[in-house]
Amino acid sequence: MTGWTEFIAAFAVFLLSHALPARPAVRAKLVGALGEGGFLAAYSIESLLVLTWLIVAAGRAPFVELWPFERWQMWAPNLALPLACQLAAFGVGAANPLSFGGDPRKHFDPEHPGIVGVVRHPLLWAIGLWAAAHVVPNGDLAHVVLFGFFALIALIGMAIIDRRKRRQLGVDTWARLAARTSFWPFAALITGRFRPDVRKISPLRFGIGAAAWLSLLLLHPYVIGVSPLP
């Protein structure tokens, strides 16, 4: 266990910091004290700080090689991150009653589902793609545990949300809302169930996604200490 203490502690704090605020009684007290906006802001900042610590702790953990590094492996995150950033940019605040991260005040049209027609859980897929792609060039035990955990949680989370939404909305309503969506990215598009209207694609959201990807690419050497380019 020597050298693993910080990584284990960071993981425990990360899990607790997400599990405790999700409890209805705890969330209600925090929202009552901070307001909805204050709670979301505080939770976002806290999550970012703990995630940063967890990533740093993984880098400090003992190096246990599971597979050797090859430069070609760096193509995995470089190809996945542009898509992940676009999914996140279009998914945040979208009309999406079938997943989390959407805006419940917006009307959802199941005949024209927008980003939800590309994939039903855009934010979770963004996280999953980011995590799974980073497993490939990081073949040491600490980073495989770190990124593998996020990829697995994203995949399991999507299945759990689908099951929960079916129960909450009712099977018929859920099926009607999800008819032109898909669990796997682009599946509804490939099968012809979803036909996007390119005129309605938001240039602002596309620009935000592109800017996020470019920022991650340029800041990676300074924040993580390693160039992400092959």
Each of the 230 residues of the chain gets a pLDDT tens digit; together they read 557 999 999 999 998 988 887 787 888 888 888 887 787 778 878 888 998 899 889 989 999 999 999 999 999 999 999 999 999 999 988 999 999 877 878 899 999 999 999 999 999 999 999 999 999 999 999 999 999 999 999 999 999 999 999 999 999 999 999 999 999 999 999 999 999 888 888 999 999 999 999 999 999 998 888 889 88
Task: Centre a 10 Å sphere on the Cβ of residue 19 and count the other Cβ atoms it contains.
Answer: 10
Q: Nearest 5°: CA angle at 179, between 178 and 185? A: 70
Confidence (pTM): 0.88
Please give the Cα distance from 230 to 212 (Å, whole number).
20
3 state DSSP class of 140: strand
